Amino acid sequence: MSSPSEMPATILVTGGAGFIGANFVLQAVADGHTVINLDKLTYAGNLDTLASLKSDPRHVFVQGDIGDRELIAGLLTRHRPHAVVNFAAESHVDRSIDGPAAFIETNVVGTLGLLESARNYWLTLEGQAREAFRFLHVSTDEVYGSLGAEGSFTESTPYAPNSPYSASKAASDHLVRAFHHTYGLPTLTTNCSNNYGPFQFPEKLIPLIVQKALAGEALPVYGDGLNIRDWLHVGDHCRAIRAVLARGRVAETYNVGGNAERENITVVRTICGLLDQHGALASGKPRESLITFVKDRPGHDRRYAIDSSKLQRELDWRPQETFESGIAATVGWYLDNQPWVQRVLDGSYRMERLGT
Ligand SMILES: NC(=O)c1ccc[n+]([C@@H]2O[C@H](COP(=O)([O-])OP(=O)(O)OC[C@H]3O[C@@H](n4cnc5c(N)ncnc54)[C@H](O)[C@@H]3O)[C@@H](O)[C@H]2O)c1
């Protein structure tokens, strides 16, 4: 069985200053690949995450928009990548409730621009280079909608997106599919569950709760806290993407999950317990006492669960982290990297509650 290091040598990564994209860039460069990293640096993009690559010639950072055809065409012609991996997106569900237009602009119109640029470039390639080129699109399990108590999403589950975010991701997935079926572009799509791990922007559940629990602030939990998500460690996710890029079958989609379904309230309690072990609150109370149930997010999907057996069977991938090992390591990472968090928070985001 071949390894993810067999993935293409030069890769154009979009959104590589965001949470998952940056983790992917760090893995890929460490593995000897060259990455051209195109990122618009929205509020979610942060070059601090890539500080360790500052003087590494295998990482070329370019600030720009995935929808900028002229810029992308220039990058593709100059760097001649073997693959494009599209992480760039507006990614926060709550923000999509407050302002869906930016999600359509980047996730749908932007992805279309990127697909067109990639197709034009791919048509200029010949022989083995054309054969080997890949366009990998990173998507979400949220496109499948919500589950009841039983079952899990497979690659053949019909799309039923419920939020403006998931609707925009669903639209982009359909465009990727269409670019293969209509034009023959060699595409791959991955649909993953909730990621967590180092360098996640502190508006998402796990880093948000870590920060608030450290500060002794109220810990907001939507509704009854019993919504269930599958949690995938970002390192496992990036390894999955590398396996799909190296050995995935063209035009296929692959689900990626962590085998770690947890109720939101359990995630929050686990973080509280880990932080209490690290040091007590000034009040002496356990951090669980900070949990505050707040009005539910509109249209909040009840349960997601993902069946990643296709990826396991075909590409021999499995998650290396359990939820327990991954969350302990992640909480430890946030404790050790508070300067990173503080610099991120100096930007536009102030831990306000969005999407009400
Ligand atoms: N985080 C998750 O749990 C999760 C789960 C499933 C799928 N995904 C998908 O994975 C991808 C990465 O997610 P993330 O959590 O790292 O997101 P993120 O919000 O942390 O990062 C997104 C990055 O894209 C950049 N960007 C935004 N608009 C752009 C544009 N028009 N042109 C170029 N760059 C742009 C931002 O500056 C940022 O660096 C997204 O496509 C998201 O839909 C994420």
The predicted-structure confidence for 191-219, as pLDDT tens digits, reads as follows 999 999 999 999 899 999 999 999 999 99
In this prediction, the residues of the chain whose per-residue pLDDT falls under 70 are: 1-8, 347-356
Report the pLDDT value the prediction gives residue 2, as an integer from 0 to 100: 39
Residues with CB under 6 A from ligand 1: 14-15, 17-21, 39-42, 44-45, 65-66, 87-91, 106, 110, 138, 140, 169, 192, 194-195, 201
Report the pLDDT value the prediction gives residue 8, as an integer from 0 to 100: 66
Give, for ligand 1, the residue of 61, 87, 354 to mutate: max count of ligand atoms closer than 8 Å to Cβ.
Answer: 87
Question: pLDDT for 119-162, tens place per residue?
Answer: 999 999 999 999 999 999 999 999 999 998 899 999 999 999 99
Report the pLDDT value the prediction gives residue 203, as an integer from 0 to 100: 86
CA of 128 to the centre of ligand 1 (A): 31
Report the pLDDT value the prediction gives residue 3, as an integer from 0 to 100: 47
Tokens of 32: 């000897």
**Residue whose CA lies nearest to ligand 1 atom number 42:** 91
Tokens of 76: 């593709």
CA of 280 to the centre of ligand 1 (A): 35
Report the pLDDT value the prediction gives residue 124, as an integer from 0 to 100: 98
Map out the domains of the chain with their CATH numbers.
8-197+231-259+303-324 (3.40.50.720)
Report the pLDDT value the prediction gives residue 344, as an integer from 0 to 100: 87
Report the pLDDT value the prediction gives residue 134, as an integer from 0 to 100: 98
CA of 89 to the centre of ligand 1 (A): 4
Cα-only R_g, the chain: 20
Looking at residue 254, its amino acid is Y
d(CA 118, CA 328): 40
Q: Is 230 a catalytic residue?
A: no
Report the pLDDT value the prediction gives residue 7, as an integer from 0 to 100: 66
Q: Is 94 a catalytic residue?
A: no
CB atoms within 10 A of CB 68: 17
The answer to whether 2 and 246 are in contact (CB under 8 A) is yes
Report the pLDDT value the prediction gives residue 355, as an integer from 0 to 100: 54
Q: Is 165 a catalytic residue?
A: yes
**Residue whose CA lies nearest to ligand 1 atom number 32:** 65
SS (H, E, C) the chain: CCCHHHCCCEEEEECCCCHHHHHHHHHHHHCCCEEEEEECCCCCCCHHHHHHHCCCCCEEEEECCCCCHHHHHHHHHHHCCCEEEECCCCCCHHHHHHCCHHHHHHHHHHHHHHHHHHHHHHHHCCHHHHHHCEEEEEEEHHHHCCCCCCCCECCCCCCCCCCHHHHHHHHHHHHHHHHHHHHCCCEEEEEECEEECCCCCCCCHHHHHHHHHHHCCCEEEECCCCCEEEEEEHHHHHHHHHHHHHHCCCCCEEEECCCCEEEHHHHHHHHHHHHHHHCCCCCCCCHHHHEEEECCCCCCCCECCECCHHHHHHHCCCCCCCHHHHHHHHHHHHHHCHHHHHHHHCCCCCCCCCCC
Catalytic residue, chosen from 65, 94, 144, 165, is 165
Report the pLDDT value the prediction gives residue 4, as an integer from 0 to 100: 53
